[in-house]
Amino acid sequence: MRTAAILAALVLLAAARNEASAQTYAPPTSAPRVTSAEAARRLVIEREVRERFARGLADEARADWSAADREFARIVDLAPPEPKTSTALYDRALALAHLRRANDAMDALDAALARDPGFAAAAANLTAIALAAGDDERARRAAARFVAIAPASARARYSEGLVAIRTGDFALARRDFTALLADDPAYAVAHYDLAIVELHDGRIAAAQVELERSLALSPGYARARLAYAELLLRDGRTAEAKAQLARTAADAADPSLRMLAHTLREQIP
């Protein structure tokens, strides 16, 4: 009985030792050590920047633009090393644009570009915001900068072409939209914009050809169809114009285009 108890105890002890030896532990690492107040301050700022980026992006994802603006403004104040400050300025500009503070958004993007002159996305959004705000001069400078940063960029060519139409530089607009179409002849929007350039240059037949190309590629493109109908009207082809206007009035998603097409059609005798 006693022998049996000793044997049982030995078996249990052996099992326990095996279990203990099977456990593995991470190799010992030294705890982060800060040797100066400045280094400690840097670590605190890094952590705050990381957290505020995460919160700001989450705010933007749920369209809480005011909250996002506050987070990114705080990061800019903390002035983390590049590219973090210019990225925070870029993200803040998105929030400001949605808050309809176009000038502040453009200032933020200018500041981002001052810190990182090769920041193509900042130049792209600066041009888009200036265009949407109707600030043609700022859009022109931003587009030129965008093209200089990314000469092969389709978005840069497109943006510069739009600005050029607005500012009456039709030679530049023609160059940009022709370059876009050389890369992608199936882009109906560029055919439409090239038609606008031709119209301004008084090349009516060429404008008509571009509109026909645009509509052949995208028959539902209401804006192109409206312009095409107006050209037909100008040529006295009223029956065809009426048919095009009727289709535009029926198809257009934009209520102002629908209304314009409807009104024009009603006025044709």
User: For binding to other proteins (CB under 8 A), which residues are involved?
Assistant: 49-50, 53-54, 57, 60, 83-84, 87, 90-91, 94, 97, 119-121, 123-125, 127-129, 131-132, 146, 150, 152-156, 158-159, 162, 165-166, 180, 183-184, 187-190, 192-193, 195-196, 199-200, 204, 214, 217-218, 220-224, 226-227, 230-231, 233-234, 251-253, 260
Minimum gap (Å) between residue 25 Cβ and other proteins = 31
Residue 172 or 195 with smaller CB distance to other proteins: 195
The answer to whether residues 233 and 268 touch, using CB atoms and an 8 Å cutoff, is yes
**Strand, helix or coil for residue 187:** coil
Instruction: Measure the CA–CA gap between 257 and 268, rounded to whole angstroms.
Output: 17
Residue 40 or 250 with smaller CB distance to other proteins: 250
Minimum gap (Å) between residue 36 Cβ and other proteins = 25
CA distances from 2 to 5, 6, 14 (A): 5, 6, 19
Residue 15 or 235 with smaller CB distance to other proteins: 235
For 241, phi and psi rounded to 5 degrees?
-60, -40
Minimum gap (Å) between residue 125 Cβ and other proteins = 5
Give the number of C-alpha atoms closer than 13 A to the C-alpha of residue 233, restricted to the C-beta side: 18
DSSP-assigned letters across all residues of 136-174: HHHHHHHHHHHHHH-TT-HHHHHHHHHHHHHHT-HHHHH
Minimum gap (Å) between residue 53 Cβ and other proteins = 4
Residue 172 or 226 with smaller CB distance to other proteins: 226
